[in-house]
Structure formats: C-alpha cells, structure tokens
Chain A
Amino acid sequence: MYLESVEQLIKIAKENGQTLGRMALILEAKDREVPEEHLLNIMRERLQVMRAAVTEGLQGNRSVGGLVGGQALKYQAWYNSGKSLASGVFGKAITYALAVSEANASMGLIVAAPTAGSAGVIPGVLLSIMEEYEIPEEKVIEGLYAAGAVGLVIAFKASLSGAQGGCQAECGSAAAMAAVAATELLGGSPEQAAHAGAIALKGMLGLVCDPVAGLVEVPCVKRNVSAAVQALAAVDLALAGITSAIPLDEVIGAMGEIGRELPISLKETAQGGLAATPTGKALAQKIFGRKEEKNGENN
C-alpha cells in the first residue's frame, strides 16, 4: 500500500466508517490482490512470534555481547511482588518490552517492528493492553496494521533507521506506531489515535543512536522501555481528550528534519553519546579485546 500521510488514512477510514487498523488491512489486501484473511493470518503468526519472544526473554538469557540479560526477569519479580511503582498495563508493558528486547539481544526470534533494535516497544504496549483489557486477537492484529500504516508514512516522510535518523527513528517511531494502535484498541477515534501518535513521537524527538560498542544492547534494551511507557502515557492523554497542537504528519516531518541534522557520530556509528563515555569505551574494549576463535585445523 502506498500512503503519504496519516491524514489521508484517517480520511479514507472515516469515509468508510472503519478504524485505521481495519482500513489499513482492507487497503493492503486490495493493493496486493489477496483476501483479507490471508493478511490476517500473516500478522497472526507475527503476533505469535511476539508472544513467544516475551516468553523467551523471560528465560533470562545473556546477550551476545554480554551487556544485558535477566532484566525482564528481575523486573517481573518486582512487578509481581506488588511493590512496583508501575501497576497494571504499565508494569506489564515494561516487563514485555524488556523481555522482547533481551530476546533480541540474545539472538532470539523476534519481529522487527519497525527494526530489531526497537522490537520490544510494540509487543510491550499491545500485548499488555490485550491481556489486561481482554481485547480479542483479531482486533490486535488489526492494530498491527494500523501501526504498520503509520510506519509506512514515517518511512515515506522521514526514516525508520537509527543510522539515518537516530533512535527517534527507531524507538520513537515504534512509540508512535504503538500509541496509534493502542488508542484504537481502547476505543479511541482515528483522530484520537493520531493525537496519541503525535504526543508519543514528540516525546522522543531528538533521541540519538549511540549504542555502546555498536551493539544492540546498551542503551537499546532500556530505550524500548522508555518508548513503551511514552506510548502508553500518550494513549492515556489522547483518551482523556487531550490533543497534540502539532499534527502527527508534521511531527513525523520534524523528526525527519532533525534526523538529517544529527551529526553522524550520533547515528549508529558508536562514536558519540553513551558509546563515547569512559565506561562505554571500556565496555567496548572488554568485549572486542577477546581472543580470536576458530575451529578446524587450518590457519
């Protein structure tokens, strides 16, 4: 499907009396000349992979670089103890976002949404709402189409890659995509959903990509939590009837502009920001100072 603006999708959805998610699904099916059922099945599988990634992340495996692992498990215990500051959906979303990101960092199976580095945000937000509010699976699948449609607009107007736009393009986009989908799952109108997306993305503008040692571990795993929480707060504001002064399409445009202006050292090159801190550099040294490995007899 070709989509230039969220405004355009809202307009078509309203004309047809559909949610953004359902409308995106219908348009995509038309575009590909396949039955909607076929697309629902593809996304159902991806939703299952997201669920399995949560389970896998809660095994507590160490990441490949060794910088993360076991955090989801630790937070889950805290959440279950009833002492955590975040309760309900918020606490679950934190747990799930951590779990999927840790699964990713330990070479688990994930759905890049929109990227592998930001893979924890959408499952964190949508799976926790799905469970806590008993939302039917089909609605959540449609929600993933709403999220995907917003991602299409971001890809068109800005970028979804940390190397091009900083982390605002990865975790920020994921937050906006999740917020739009989640608002609809909770009964918000298409306009409210777009406001939630705008509010979420505004909160992530300017976020740089500065992974320690160039690995998708620090700060990526915890940034997925930040983005998920950002998205949930934005959903709550929008459902309360609070609007964004700047519409989502323009926030996306601003994000693209900011991404272009960010220096290259803050776009996944591991040369600036946290990667360039004394501790960041020491960790990189420790990871890559390890000895060569090989098998076999040849040199």
Chain B
Amino acid sequence: MDLLDIIGPVMIGPSSSHTAGAVRLGRVGRLVLGEEPRKAKIFLHGSFKETYRGHGTDRAIIAGLLGFDTSDPRIRESLKIAKERGLNYEFLLIDLPEAHPNTAYMELWGETSIARVTGSSIGGGAVLITDINGYPVNISAKYPTIIVPHNDQPGAVAKVTSVLAWHGINIARMSVARQKKGAEALMVIETDQPVDDETFKEIKRLPGITGGFTIPPL
C-alpha cells in the first residue's frame, strides 16, 4: 500500500471497482483495438451484470473506450459523447463460468480492425485482463506492458528481449500465450521502464513479429 493511494486516488465516483476499474477495462479495450472504436458489444458478468446501471459501470466502460481516464468528469456524459463520436454500443448480459464477479467481455470494431478483450475489476480500481483476442493472458496494466503477436517459432522471444536489453529496459514479468503449437502466439512483457515508440517500432520490424501494441500503466 502507498500513502498516496490511501488519501487518493482522485477519481469519478461512486465506486473504485465498479466505476474506476471499469474505465480502465474500457481503456485497455481501446488500446488493444488500436483505433477509434466504431462499434462495441459489451457483455457483463456477475456483479457488473447485476448493478451496472446503479454504479455507472456502463458509462465508465464507454468512457474508457473513448480514451477518458478515471478522473475525467466526461465519464458522466460518456453515453452521449459516444453517440456524437459515432460509437455504437450495446450492453448484453452473460454468465462466464468461473469468472471474477466484476468481469466484462468486450467485442470491439474499428474502421480496420476487430478486438476481443476480457477483463475483471478486482478491487480498489485495479484490473486484470484475462483474455485478448482469444489468447489467455494475465495483465494488470500497473506496469508498462507490451503485447507482441508473433509466429510461434524458436528465437522470436529472444529477439524481442534482446532489443529491450539493448535499450536498457528491464523485464519485470513475461509470458507467452498460444492457441496451438506452431501457430501465432502472443508475447506479453511487463517492463520496469516504459518502452518508447522508437524501440517498439524496432521490435515490430523483427522477423516473425506480426504486430503489437503497448499498454501504459493506467
């Protein structure tokens, strides 16, 4: 625990888990999509499903999809702003087996891409992203995180980590998720220092790397 998290954070109410955490889930969704979302289907599970209107969880997730942070007063008006910006959204209720009570599964469409993200608001505004585009992951968005899809072949991980090392970026945690052997896999790397744009471009140019995006600490 940190003293500035005890008298803090500054946030839009009413609930750190149902409002602030929900904004963060939306923001991760936007970052994964990597562009302005045009259409969103948001499936709510558990306590999110039961109480989302009373806590403003719907406005919070949409606010995150629009790129607002947890202290942005526009969260209150986010449903209206979504309309103005041409984001069509829909909230649906779902039962996800064994998921945390505050879980949302988002299907997102932009002009050129589609993203699917599942995440939970696990208390005090913290989140845990558990699935990105069908890959099981474990992302807290507390540290700078890079997510790199790559062809599942020997050497891919080593190439990425050596670029990071060369730029003096220390790895705090990393994992590789894949759907089946030899197909595309997803590298998730949490770092102590933020990965700057130039370094990230270098990583994306590596052979076998098929894309990638970063999630800053939210």
Contacts and interface: CB of A to CB of B under 8 A. Distances in A.
A25 B196 CA distance: 33
Contact of A104 (B6, B14, B79): B14
Interface residues of B, number: 41
B206 interface: no
Contacts of A136: none
B123 A163 contact: yes
Contacts of B83: 295
Interface string A283-297: 000011010111111
B50 interface: yes
Contact of B90 (A45, A65, A119, A299): A299
Looking at A43, A112, A155, the one whose CB has the most chain B CB atoms below 10 A away is A112
A109 B51 contact: no
A115 interface: yes
A65 B53 CA distance: 7
Interface string B41-82: 100000100110111101100000000000101011001001
A6 interface: no
A214 B91 CA distance: 20
B123 A110 contact: no
Given A111-B7, A292-B91, A294-B90, A215 B54 contact: yes
Interface stretch (A83-91, A144-152, A198-206): A144-152
Given A64-B53, A64-B55, A107-B14, A113 B91 contact: no
Contacts of A217: 14, 54
B51 A215 contact: yes
B90 A112 contact: no
B4 interface: yes
A24 B3 contact: yes
A153 to B, nearest CB: 10
Interface in B8-57: 8-16, 19-20, 39, 41, 47, 50-51, 53-56
Contact of B7 (A1, A106, A144, A290): A144
13 contacts: A64-B14, A108-B73, A109-B10, A112-B10, A113-B7, A116-B13, A116-B16, A119-B13, A213-B51, A288-B54, A290-B53, A293-B91, A295-B82
